[in-house]
Amino acid sequence: MNCVWVGTMTVQEVRVEVTPLQTEGMRDVLGDVVQRQLFADHGVDVGKVRSIRGYLIRSNYTAEQIDAHVQDIFSDPIIEYGATNTSLLEDQTFFPQPPSLTVTVGFKPGVTDNPGAAANDGFKVLFPEGESSISTYISYAFLELHDGIDHAWVASTLFNGLIEKSILTTREQLETNQAMSLTYPERPTIERQVPSIINLEVSDDELLRLSTEGLLALNLNEMQTIRDHYRDETTRGARSAVGISPDSPTDVELECLAQTWSEHCKHKIFASKIHHIDTETNEDTTIDSLFKTHIMKPTHDMAKEVDWLLSVFHDNSGVIAWNDDWSICMKAETHNSPSALDPYGGAMTGIVGVNRDILGTGLGARPIANTDVFCFGPPDWSGELPSTLFHPSRVLRGVHAGVRVGGNESGIPTINGSIVFDERYIGKPLVYCGTVGLMPRKLADGRESHEKNPTPGDLVYMVGGRVGSDGIHGATFSSLELTDESPSSAVQIGDPITQKKMMDMLLEARDACLITCTTDNGAGGLSSSIGEMAEYTNGCEIDLGKVPLKQEGLSSWEILVSESQERMTVAVSPKDRDAFEALAHLHEVEATQVATFTDTGYFHVKHGEETVAYLPITFLHDGVPQLELESEWIPPHHEAFVPPSELNQTTLLTEMLARPNIASKETWVRQYDHEVIAQTVVKPFVGVERDGPGDAGLIAPIHGDSQGLVVSCGIAPRYSDIDAGAMVAASIDEAVRNAVCVGVDIDKMAGLDNFCWPDPIESEKTPDGKFKLAQLVRANRELERVCRAYRLPCVSGKDSMKNDYGVWPNKISIPPTMLFSLFGNQPDVRKTATSNFKHHGERIYLVGMTHNELGASEVAFHLRERGDANGIGGQVPLLENPSEQLEVYRKLSNCIQSGLIRTAHDCSEGGLAVALAEMCIGGRCGAFIDIDGIGTGDAFTRLWSESLGRIVVSVEAEHELAFVEMMEGADIHLIGMVSSSSELLIEDGYDTLIQADVEELTQSWKGALDMTGAIE
26-65 residues in contact with other proteins (CB under 8 A) are 26-27, 29-30, 32-33, 36
For 554, other C-beta atoms within 10 Å of its C-beta total: 22
User: Which of 240, 279, 483, 706 forms a contact with other proteins (CB under 8 A)?
Assistant: 706
Segment contacting other proteins (CB under 8 A): 138-146, 158-166, 319-327, 494-502?
494-502
What are phi and psi for residue 967, nearest 5 degrees?
-90, 10
Closest distance of CB 86 from other proteins, Å: 18
> What is the smallest separation between the CB atom of 99 and other proteins, expressed in angstroms?
20
Query: Binding to other proteins (CB under 8 A): which residues in 85-114?
Result: 114
Contacts (Cβ under 8 Å, ≥6 apart) of 268:
261, 624, 626, 627
* DSSP symbols for 599-648: -SSEEEEEETTEEEEEEEHHHHHH-SPPPEEEEEE-PPP-PBP---SS--
* Residues in 918-947 that interact with other proteins by CB under 8 A: none
Choosing from 131, 284, 588, 628, the residue that interacts with other proteins (CB under 8 A) is 588
- Where residue 215 falls (left for φ over 0; alpha for ψ -120 to 50; beta otherwise) is left
Among 450, 674, 862, 959, binds other proteins (CB under 8 A): 674
* CA dihedral sign of residues 445, 450, 451, 454: positive
Complex with other proteins: residue 408 or 516, whichever CB lies closer = 408
Q: Which of 278, 675, 868, 971 binds other proteins (CB under 8 A)?
A: 675
The DSSP secondary-structure symbol of 197 reads B
Nearer to other proteins by Cβ, of 119 and 943: the residue is 119
Beta strand segments in 921-980, E: 926-930, 951-955, 972-979
Euclidean distance between CA atoms 952 and 963, whole angstroms: 13
E strands in 697-816: 697-699, 708-714, 749-756, 794-800, 804-805, 812-813
Smallest distance, Å, CB 914 to other proteins? Answer: 21
Residues 119-138 that bind other proteins (CB under 8 A): 119, 121-122, 125-126
Q: SS in 3 state form for 119-156?
A: HHHHHHHHCCCCCCEEEEEEEEEECCCCCCCCHHHHHH
What's the half-sphere exposure (Cβ side, CA atoms, 13 Å) at 239?
Answer: 21
Residue type, 907: C
Candidate residues 139, 235, 410, 885; the one interacting with other proteins per rule CB under 8 A: 410
What spatial distance separates the first Cα and last Cα of the chain, rounded to whole Å? 41
Q: Are 789 and 813 in contact (CB under 8 A)?
A: no
Number of shown-chain residues binding other proteins (CB under 8 A) = 73
Site string for other proteins, 439-478 (x = CB under 8 A): ----------------------------------------
Nearer to other proteins, 682 or 774 (CB): 682
- For residue 408, the minimal CB distance to other proteins (Å) is 6
Listed ranges 207-215, 375-383, 404-412, 429-437: which one lies at the site for other proteins (CB under 8 A)? 404-412
Residues 6+ apart with CB under 8 A from 39: 45, 46, 1013, 1015
Q: What is the Cβ-side half-sphere exposure of residue 474, based on CA atoms within 13 angstroms?
A: 32
Least distance from other proteins to the Cβ atom of residue 324, Å: 20
Residues 857-916 close enough to bind other proteins by CB under 8 A: 902-903
The CA distance from 433 to 639, in Å, is 35
- Is residue 677 a contact point for other proteins (CB under 8 A)? yes
By the rule CB under 8 A, 411 interacts with other proteins? yes
Could you tell me the smallest distance in angstroms from the CB atom of residue 579 to other proteins?
Answer: 14
Report the residue from 8, 23, 382, 763 that binds other proteins according to the rule CB under 8 A. 23
Cβ–Cβ < 8 Å for 539, 598: yes
| The binder of other proteins chosen from 25, 43, 96, 383 (CB under 8 A) | 25
Nearer to other proteins by Cβ, of 118 and 878: the residue is: 118
When asked if residue 587 is in the footprint of other proteins (CB under 8 A), the reply is: yes
Residues 820, 715: Cα–Cα separation, whole Å = 6
Write down the least CB distance from residue 23 to other proteins, Å. Answer: 7
- Helix (H/G/I), strand (E/B), else coil: 52: strand
Site residues (CB under 8 A) for other proteins, limited to 824-863:
829-830, 832-834, 836, 838-839
Q: Which of 44, 63, 197, 676 binds other proteins (CB under 8 A)?
A: 676
| Phi, psi angles (nearest 5°) of residue 125 | -65, -35
For residue 503, the minimal CB distance to other proteins (Å) is: 10
CB of 140 to other proteins, least distance (A): 13
What is the pattern of x (binds other proteins, CB under 8 A) and - over residues 652-671?
------------------xx
Minimum distance of other proteins from residue 115's CB (angstroms): 4
Helices of type H across 538-572: 556-561
